[in-house]
Amino acid sequence: MKKFTGIDILLILFIFALYNNILSQEICLVPQNITKPISIEISGELAKDYVYHITRFDRIQASEGWHTAALYIKKQLNKYGITDVEIEKFKSNGQVKYFTWTPPLGWRAKTGELWMVKPIKKRLASYEKIPTSLVKGSQTADVTGEVIHIIDGTKPEDYKGIDVKGKFILATGYTGNVHREGVIKRGALGVVTYLDRLSRFEYPDLIQYTALWPRLNEKEKTTFGFNISRMDAEIIIRYLSQGEKVILHAKVEGENYESNVEMMSAIIKGTKFPDKEIIIMGHLDHYKPGANDNASGSAGMLEVARTIKKLIDNNILPPPERTLRFLWVTEFNGTVPWLYAHPEVSKKVIAAYNFDMIGEDLFKTNSYFYFTRTPHSLPSFLNDLTENITSYTASLGLTSIRGSRYPFHYRVIEYSGGSDHVLFCDGSIGVPALMLGHPDPYHHTIQDTPDKVDESELKRVCFIGATGMYYMANAGSKEAIDIANLCAARASGRIASDVKKCMLRMKNNIKSEKSLYIAYKEAMNCLKYSFIRENKTILSSLVFSRDDKTNKYIETLAASLQNEKNIWKKRIKNYYSFLAKKSGFNTREITLNEEEKSAQKIVPVRTSVFKTSLSSDYLIEKLGTDVRKMIKINRNVQYEVANFINGKYNILDIRNAVSAEYGPQPLKDILSYIEILKKAGLVQYK
């Protein structure tokens, strides 16, 4: 067995030491002549005031409330001297498609109440008092009937042997899906849903926000839904378990109508490169109040815009060289049509921040700040730059007069979906975008109120967004080198962490000669894609370079990773040999099996309809509900498989890339998923 030289060992120790100390010792890349005025001017109090105003509107998608809230923000922008503001409308009727997405019908309601009338009389829901208790999309009705408890209610098998026609359904599944299965397909009167014990168990009185989102062809069969607390649901379930009939009465005045989804955009135009943009986005839509989700993000964007504009107007900061765009979106269903109408985004936009739930009071919500990294399919400088700024923010101790004094707790997490950054990071768009937010137990419930929004936390996250946005808007060759150096330093630590996981997996797979060989093969695969990821991360800083010397430096820096790669390859191979010898196994050279050779010959490409991320409903529309059972990989892996379908990667490449990111994935499951996409008309083979 080969042994490491002294130089090899010293280099590896240096890499670990460098990574372990980098967070505590690194200096913020953004100079103090930018960070100091922003930290002084940015106001958590003003941002909280905007939150109060925005939460007064019921801002669901394709509604009049969204438009009214947008007009309030537009008025504030104009007051601050930002007049280049545009509201764009896109038809939304439950039928028109933008790529794979179908924006919903508009909806409005006057009243909605749900009562239990037997065996006791008890009001369970009131739209007037608790707006989220009436499910969005509910139609006019005045009905009385028996209630049946169905555990989930979203799948055909949930109804096996159960007649729900003319009855209420009490279930825990998503209301729109329960309504589609129980009401539209089986004739139930309506749906009552609640959060089960596996969802936020310690909060039994939460009343969630959900919607029916009926399609145009379902309009005539659409009825209504109500959300109730788990406490009230368990009262009903207790009566049913005792053999008593429970009778409910629902009265609703509501209607769907053909409408528009809207997007509002405001810009501070760049002086040198106006066609290049940095975006901060956040979804304005949601129910009333929806304070942290996402009045906080919408308010934070307004405060960032105000701060930067004031500092420019007062000659404290120069105007940005690249354009700053603030984009108040209709989550997913408005962003997709906007991307459909603006194909230039891929070339114009350098990076984006997504403000989604940025103001949580850390004590009241038992929370912390986080931002998500870009997926491995889109390596970017943005991750390291933002972590650098976030670390610096934590050291400042920023607070607001009316805010908390809690320390700034933050985490950097791997890519996660759930908001509009997903659409920008998609392989067909290719704009690196990070979500800045907080986990929150009151998310999507009526208890998401302004009292749980903290001025200090708003100030901190707005500072991160404003600082990063302005820095990128003015970055040139000097900044490109600084960013590249930062990425290179952090790259070594990330690679070391990947290798550590791989070697642990090898150690845990010494059951047989074959299992150890497979673990070794996966380790080498992981190493390969780790270096591809880090190489591209360093090279992504070239977007700011303005001269050939800088380009050359950054390209050489990225290429120098190859020396480190050879050291790690030797270490993994030596460890494989050690484990094999210890276990009495023979070692093998890495080769492809027949399944892999076959997959290597197939190169998938997306069809024109498959742009931005895939709507979760599209495959069901095309192939039926059974398609969900056919897919064996999780949502994040599905997303990355699609991102690597670029006409360059064959199916084996795609499998290996997602396995390096999410752990070994069976090749047959990846191939099966791509075949499903092909059957749905989303993919074809070259």
Rounded Cα distance between 552 and 573, Å, is 33
pLDDT bracket for residue 400 (50, 70, 90): very high
Q: Which two tokens stand for residue 259?
A: 């409408």
How does DSSP classify residue 590?
-
Rounded Cα distance between 634 and 618, Å, is 17
pLDDT at 26: 64
Q: Using one digit for the tens of pLDDT, what is the confidence trace for 238-259?
A: 999 999 999 999 999 999 999 9
pLDDT at 493: 94
> Which residues, at least 6 apart from 112, have a Cβ–Cβ distance to it below 8 Å?
125, 126, 127, 133, 134, 138, 224, 226, 250, 251, 252, 253, 254
227 forms bridges with which residues in the sheet? 193
Angstrom distances, CA of residue 116 to CA of 60, 122, 172, 273: 28, 5, 18, 63
- Examine the pLDDT at 19 and tell me if it is beyond 50: no
Q: What mean pLDDT do residues 170-180 have?
A: 96
> What are the two backbone dihedrals, phi and then psi, of residue 570, each rounded to the nearest 5 degrees?
-65, -40
- Examine the pLDDT at 450 and tell me if it is beyond 90: yes
* DSSP state string for 291-326: IIIIIIHHHHHHHHHHHHHHHHHTTSSPPPSEEEEE
Q: Of 414, 410, 451, nearest to 434 (Cα)?
A: 414
Rounded Cα distance between 383 and 625, Å, is 37
**Cα distance from N-terminal residue to C-terminal residue, the chain:** 44
- Examine the pLDDT at 9 and tell me if it is beyond 60: no
Contact call for residues 461 and 355 (beta carbons, < 8 A): yes
Q: What mean pLDDT do residues 122-151 have?
A: 96
Q: Using one digit for the tens of pLDDT, what is the confidence trace for 640-658?
A: 999 999 999 999 999 999 9
- Examine the pLDDT at 364 and tell me if it is beyond 80: yes
Q: Of 204, 243, 210, 237, nearest to 136 (Cα)?
A: 210
281 forms bridges with which residues in the sheet? 327, 354
The residue to which tokens 């380009």 are assigned? 551
The enclosing H or E element of 113 equals strand 106-118
pLDDT at 213: 86
How does DSSP classify residue 445?
B
- What is the biggest distance separating any 2 CA atoms in the chain, rounded to whole angstroms? 82
Sign of CA dihedral 458, 459, 463, 469: positive
Contact call for residues 99 and 609 (beta carbons, < 8 A): yes
pLDDT bracket for residue 24 (50, 70, 90): very low
Angstrom distances, CA of residue 646 to CA of 297, 309, 438, 608: 33, 40, 33, 12
Residue 411 DSSP SS3? strand
* DSSP state string for 535-549: HHHHHGGGGG--SHH
Task: Tell me the Cα Rg of the chain.
Answer: 27
Name the pairing type of β-strands 85-92 and 259-268.
Answer: antiparallel
pLDDT at 159: 96
Contact call for residues 70 and 219 (beta carbons, < 8 A): no
Q: Using one digit for the tens of pLDDT, what is the confidence trace for 81-133?
A: 999 999 999 999 989 999 999 999 999 999 999 999 999 999 999 999 999 99
Q: Using one digit for the tens of pLDDT, what is the confidence trace for 424-439?
A: 999 999 999 999 999 9
Q: What mean pLDDT do residues 489-514 have?
A: 95
Contact call for residues 18 and 493 (beta carbons, < 8 A): yes
Exposure class string for 299-336: b at 16+ Cβ within 10 A, else e:
bbbbbbbbbbbebbeeeebebbbbbbbbbbbbbbbbbb
- Examine the pLDDT at 56 and tell me if it is beyond 80: yes
Q: What mean pLDDT do residues 309-332 have?
A: 98
pLDDT at 391: 97
pLDDT at 195: 93
Q: Where are the beta strands (DSSP E) in 127-222?
A: 141-149, 168-171, 190-193
Give percent of the chain above pLDDT 90.
Answer: 91
Contact call for residues 435 and 356 (beta carbons, < 8 A): yes
- Examine the pLDDT at 457 and tell me if it is beyond 70: yes
Q: What mean pLDDT do residues 525-539 have?
A: 98
Give percent of the chain above pLDDT 70.
Answer: 96
Rounded Cα distance between 495 and 436, Å, is 25
Contact call for residues 300 and 456 (beta carbons, < 8 A): no
pLDDT at 202: 80
- What letter represents residue 517's amino acid? Y
Name the pairing type of β-strands 349-355 and 433-437.
Answer: parallel
Least confident of 211-215, 310-314, 444-448: 211-215
- What letter represents residue 179's amino acid? H
pLDDT at 199: 78
- Percent of residues in the chain assigned helix, strand, coil, to nearest 5: 45, 20, 35
Residue 170 DSSP SS3? strand
> What are the two backbone dihedrals, phi and then psi, of residue 131, each rounded to the nearest 5 degrees?
-55, -30
Residue 13: half-sphere exposure toward Cβ, Cα within 13 Å: 7
pLDDT bracket for residue 51 (50, 70, 90): very high
Sign of CA dihedral 211, 252, 90, 88: negative
Rounded Cα distance between 491 and 212, Å, is 45
268 forms bridges with which residues in the sheet? 324
- Examine the pLDDT at 482 and tell me if it is beyond 90: yes
**Phi-psi category of residue 187: left, alpha or beta, with phi > 0 → left and psi -120 to 50 → alpha:** left
> Which residues, at least 6 apart from 113, have a Cβ–Cβ distance to it below 8 Å?
123, 125, 126, 127, 250, 251, 252
> Which of the two residues, 215 and 61, has the higher pLDDT score?
61
- Examine the pLDDT at 25 and tell me if it is beyond 80: no
Q: Using one digit for the tens of pLDDT, what is the confidence trace for 210-236?
A: 999 887 788 889 999 999 999 999 999
pLDDT bracket for residue 204 (50, 70, 90): confident
Angstrom distances, CA of residue 576 to CA of 9, 497, 548, 551, 585: 18, 18, 43, 39, 10
Q: What mean pLDDT do residues 361-372 have?
A: 96
279 forms bridges with which residues in the sheet? 325, 352
Q: What mean pLDDT do residues 465-493 have?
A: 97
Angstrom distances, CA of residue 183 to CA of 200, 227, 252: 27, 16, 16
Degrees, nearest 5: CA angle 374-380-386: 75
Rounded Cα distance between 245 and 242, Å, is 9
- Examine the pLDDT at 18 and tell me if it is beyond 90: no
Q: What mean pLDDT do residues 40-52 have?
A: 98
Contact call for residues 292 and 438 (beta carbons, < 8 A): yes
pLDDT at 216: 78
Q: What mean pLDDT do residues 140-149 have?
A: 98
Q: Which two tokens stand for residue 220?
A: 């005539």
Q: What mean pLDDT do residues 550-564 have?
A: 95
Rounded Cα distance between 209 and 217, Å, is 24
pLDDT at 395: 95
Q: Using one digit for the tens of pLDDT, what is the confidence trace for 613-638?
A: 999 889 999 998 889 899 999 999 99
